[in-house]
């Protein structure tokens, strides 16, 4: 019998990234000579700290060997010191270095959740969670939040009504990607009590920890009393060090069984990136730390304020003020935001320039939600953000005509 090889159902049904799926249209526009401003993706444009890069350049390695599956010991110790500076007292045994925050997230799903179980996630949420869920056979059950109250968590009863015998965990991104929300002490206590009373894990994505503006400060799940054995933290250096390509993340938990299981997963993929770890160790032990991070956060706060001021002058846009991260969800005066985003890449040009945004529908699990929304990332310098707002306004005017 002549049987043709067939791609697996698992692979063919894997979700597209709403952040990246329109890249071919952006590439085509660039090939035609158009300048495309990317506010669809959280890729910082601020230079990676010199000390980090020096740690790679001056490593003096003759053989680039595997690192331990858990991570290099001196790097784990440096990370424990960093977390201590953040008010999170954790020891190196409770930290595992991963290949980016994405692998940390995937390991959290694998270790905390059974195949076929459910995880509660406030929507809109970071789109890769859908990929983690599909890979691990977990079902996402969304917790609905609304732009009109700045994406605050609903009352305890509304969340509790979503919990079933199949529910294994609740996931928070704090500060939030894509909304920029920093959850209040009341919201965090609500989540803590629900997790404790319903025998759940709390998976806390804290990649944007330092990206909290003015007097807002996110509470780490690792510091919550009463759920020490239930808290699992996902983290990454990609944003705070403008080092997305280094692929260094961390999984942190005081639960010894979680960490042992994660280590076995780590052994299956052998080791996290050696060079990125060496760069991180050099930076964390340099005189530039922590001032380089603080300076970066100050720049992002100014970018946020500039961008919000410019967007506020555009008729028909609706959005809240993000307290953290570097994203905001914006409701556009169009019926279908993805159609508009595509049109901006294929048809709209102003002095040879256009903008790429992330359609908002892909950040929701509830069908039909987010159809008129886009996620915007203020990772560009202030002058470019002013131009982005100008292009969006011009684009909307032409599109509606």
Tell me which residue of 51, 69, 100, 71 sits closest to 279, measured CA to CA: 51
Do residue 199 and residue 228 come from a single domain?
Answer: yes
Q: With contact defined as beta carbons under 8 Å apart, do 223 and 87 qualify?
A: yes
Determine, yes or no, domain membership for 362. yes
Looking at the chain, the whole-number percentage of residues with pLDDT higher than 90 is 94
Determine, yes or no, domain membership for 21. yes
Is residue 398 scored above 70 in pLDDT? yes
Residue whose pair of structure tokens reads 């007097």 in the numeric block: 215
Mean pLDDT of 104-112: 98
Mean pLDDT of 190-198: 98
Do residue 275 and residue 311 come from a single domain?
Answer: no
Do residue 302 and residue 265 come from a single domain?
Answer: no
Domain containing residue 333: CATH number: 3.90.1150.10
Do residue 276 and residue 303 come from a single domain?
Answer: no
Judged by DSSP in three states, 21 sits in: coil
pLDDT reported for residue 215: 85
Q: With contact defined as beta carbons under 8 Å apart, do 49 and 283 qualify?
A: yes
Mean pLDDT of the chain: 96
pLDDT digits (tens, 9 = 90+) for 124-167: 999 999 999 999 999 999 999 999 999 999 999 999 999 999 99
Determine, yes or no, domain membership for 73. yes
Do residue 129 and residue 166 come from a single domain?
Answer: yes
pLDDT reported for residue 307: 98
Q: Single out the residue in 284, 312, 331 at which a domain terminates.
A: 284
pLDDT digits (tens, 9 = 90+) for 274-315: 999 999 999 999 999 999 999 999 999 999 999 999 999 999
What's the total number of domains in the chain?
2
Is residue 112 scored above 60 in pLDDT? yes
| CA–CA gap between residue 140 and residue 118 (Å, rounded) | 6
Determine, yes or no, domain membership for 2. no
Q: Single out the residue in 284, 309, 328 at which a domain terminates.
A: 284
Q: Mind giving me the DSSP string for 192-242?
A: HHHHHHTT-EEEEE-TTTT-B-TT--PPPGGG-TT-TTTEEEEEESTTTTT
pLDDT reported for residue 1: 56
Is residue 194 scored above 80 in pLDDT? yes
Q: Single out the residue in 268, 284, 300 at which a domain terminates.
A: 284
Please state the pTM of the whole predicted model: 0.96
Q: Which residues contact 306 (CB under 8 A, 6 or more apart)?
A: 382, 385, 386
Do residue 28 and residue 122 come from a single domain?
Answer: no
pLDDT digits (tens, 9 = 90+) for 220-236: 999 999 999 999 999 99
Q: With contact defined as beta carbons under 8 Å apart, do 190 and 196 qualify?
A: no
Positive/negative CA dihedral, 88, 90, 94, 95 = positive
pLDDT reported for residue 269: 96
Domain containing residue 276: CATH number: 3.40.640.10
Do residue 221 and residue 295 come from a single domain?
Answer: no
pLDDT reported for residue 117: 98
Do residue 191 and residue 312 come from a single domain?
Answer: no
| CA–CA gap between residue 205 and residue 251 (Å, rounded) | 10
Is residue 272 scored above 60 in pLDDT? yes
| CA–CA gap between residue 37 and residue 21 (Å, rounded) | 16
Token pair of 119, please?
């995880």
Is residue 2 scored above 70 in pLDDT? no
Do residue 259 and residue 326 come from a single domain?
Answer: no
Looking at the chain, the whole-number percentage of residues with pLDDT higher than 70 is 100
Domain hosting residue 349, numbered range: 9-47+291-400
Mean pLDDT of 92-103: 98
């Amino acid at each position: 019998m002549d049987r043709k090889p067939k791609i697996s159902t698992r692979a063919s049904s894997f979700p597209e990234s709403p952040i990246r799926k329109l890249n071919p249209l952006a590439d085509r526009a660039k090939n035609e000579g158009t300048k495309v401003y990317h506010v669809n993706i959280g890729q910082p444009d601020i230079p990676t700290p010199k000390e980090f890069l020096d740690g790679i350049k001056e490593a003096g390695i003759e053989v680039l060997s595997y690192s331990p599956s858990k991570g290099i010991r001196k790097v784990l110790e440096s990370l424990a010191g960093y977390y201590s500076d953040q008010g999170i007292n954790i020891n190196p045994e409770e930290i595992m270095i991963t290949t980016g925050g994405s692998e940390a997230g995937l390991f959290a799903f694998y270790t905390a959740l059974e195949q076929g179980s459910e995880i509660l996630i406030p929507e809109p949420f970071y789109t890769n969670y859908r990929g983690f869920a599909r890979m691990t056979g977990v079902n996402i059950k969304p917790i609905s939040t609304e732009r009109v109250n700045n994406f605050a968590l609903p009352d305890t009863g509304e969340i509790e009504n979503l919990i079933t015998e199949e529910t294994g965990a609740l996931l928070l991104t704090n500060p939030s990607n894509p909304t920029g929300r920093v959850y209040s002490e009341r919201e965090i206590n609500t989540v803590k009590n629900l997790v404790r009373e319903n025998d759940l894990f709390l998976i806390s994505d804290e990649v944007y920890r330092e990206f909290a503006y003015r007097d807002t400060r996110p509470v780490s799940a690792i510091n919550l009393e009463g759920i020490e054995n239930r808290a699992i933290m996902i983290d990454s250096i990609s944003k705070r060090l403008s080092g997305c390509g280094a692929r260094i993340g961390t999984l942190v938990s005081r639960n010894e069984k979680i960490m042992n299981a994660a280590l076995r997963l780590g052994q299956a993929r052998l080791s996290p990136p050696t060079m990125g770890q060496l760069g991180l160790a050099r930076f964390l032990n340099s005189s530039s730390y922590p001032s380089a991070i603080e300076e970066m956060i100050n720049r992002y706060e100014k970018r946020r304020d500039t961008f919000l001021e410019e967007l506020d002058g555009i008729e028909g846009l609706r959005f809240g003020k993000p307290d953290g991260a570097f994203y905001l969800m914006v409701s556009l005066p169009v019926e279908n935001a993805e159609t508009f985003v595509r049109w901006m890449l294929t048809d709209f040009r102003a002095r040879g320039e256009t903008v790429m945004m992330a359609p908002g529908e892909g950040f929701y699990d509830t069908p039909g939600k987010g159809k008129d929304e886009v996620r915007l990332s203020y990772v560009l310098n202030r002058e470019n953000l002013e131009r982005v707002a100008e292009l969006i306004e011009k684009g909307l005017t032409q599109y509606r005509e």
